[in-house]
Structure 1
Amino acid sequence: MRMAFLNVPVASKEASKAFFSALGFAPNPQFESDDTACIVIEENIFVLVHEPSRWKDFLHSESAPAGTTEYVLALSADSRQECDDLVAKALANGGSVYGPATDLGFTYGTSFRDPDGHVWEVSWMDLAAAAEAGSIGEPA
């Protein structure tokens, strides 16, 4: 089975571990070092948070300037409520609002910035209703 490792720069691996633990994600010490921590999002999906001293070792170009959005990390949720709950936990633990929630009936999404400014989108979709609305193909 394939594994996914999302690598992101952070000011402090310990602060990032505390933030993601408050959201319900567990650290994985197997991939941790003095300047990197590993957060388990799902069984085979991990976020590696790197302090500046380690982050520079990953780059072959300049890092994105502070205050810009280089990418959006998107997570699925099992319900609208789970979307809102995760964002509420993020906001209560040092995250900030990124944009307004979007509600199209068959899909719902909301987002937040983590304490280091990375954008996380959380969305739920009723696949059958989305297919019926013509927004996606028929479920497999």
Structure 2
Amino acid sequence: MKEQIIFNLAVKDLDRSKAFFSALGFSFKPQFSNESAAFMDIVDGSIHAMLTTEAFFKTLTNKPVAQAKDANEVVICLNCDSREEVDSLIAKAAAAGARIPHPPEDNGFMYDQGFEDLDGHLWNLVWSAPQP
């Protein structure tokens, strides 16, 4: 099996979502993007999101498209290299229009905080202390 993850997220406004995630530092691969979808690089070469218009997303399934602001099927969790990286990404997300649903949680060995993107998808950013 390939060591690569690509997940699809339905978005209401593709250009607005691209601008939001660009503000967080994520990049897009134009060769895999068009007016209906944008291929976002999260972790170079291994983790990607395909942001798709709702109309295109509907062609991928025969089930209704969930409205992430009303209900969630998944929380996307990204491991960060430090507490500072968690705080930095949360600050960028908030400045770009994200909703921050709760304050950071500091358990000593683990630090995390999340945000809701413009479409309501939940993202959780986590730093874990190195294990001895």
Quick check: TM above 0.5? yes
User: Alpha carbon RMSD of aligned pairs, Å?
Assistant: 1.3
Check 1:82–1:41 CA distance in 2 against 1; reply closer, same or farther (3 A cut).
same
Give unpaired runs (5+ residues) of structure 1. Answer: 130-140
Letter in 2 for 1:61: K
Bigger radius of gyration among the two: 1
Report whether the alignment pairs 1:84 with 2:84: no
Give the match for residue 62 of structure 1.
64
Cross-structure match for 1:18:
19
Q: Name the SS for the 1:96 alignment partner.
A: coil
Deviation at 1:36, TM superposition (A): 0.5
Q: Percent identity?
A: 36
Q: What's the CA shift string for 1:51-79, capped at 9, x where partnerless?
A: 11101011232222441122100001011
1:47 corresponds to which residue?
A: 49
Instruction: Could you tell me which runs of 5 or more consecutive residues in structure 2 were left unpaired when the two chains were aligned.
Output: none
Greater than 6 Å deviation, 4+ residue runs:
none
State the aligned residue count: 129
Q: What is the CA–CA distance in structure 2 between the aligned matches of 1:98 and 1:116, rounded to whole Å?
A: 14
Superposition TM-score, scaled by structure 2 size = 0.91
| More helix, by proportion | 1
AA matched with 2:75? V
Secondary structure of the equivalent of 1:38?
strand
SS at match of 2:64: coil
TM-score, normalised via structure 1 length: 0.86
**1:51 & 1:94 partners in 2: Cα distance?**
19
Q: Distance in 1 between matches of 2:62 and 2:108?
A: 42
Counterpart-to-counterpart distance in 1, 2:126 and 2:112? 4
Asked if the contact 1:25/1:39 (under 8 Å) is kept, the reply is yes
Q: Deviations over 1:111-136 (max 9, x none)?
A: 0000110000000001326xxxxxxx
Equivalent position amino acid for 1:30 in 2: Q
Cα distance in structure 2, aligned partners of 1:2 and 1:13: 27
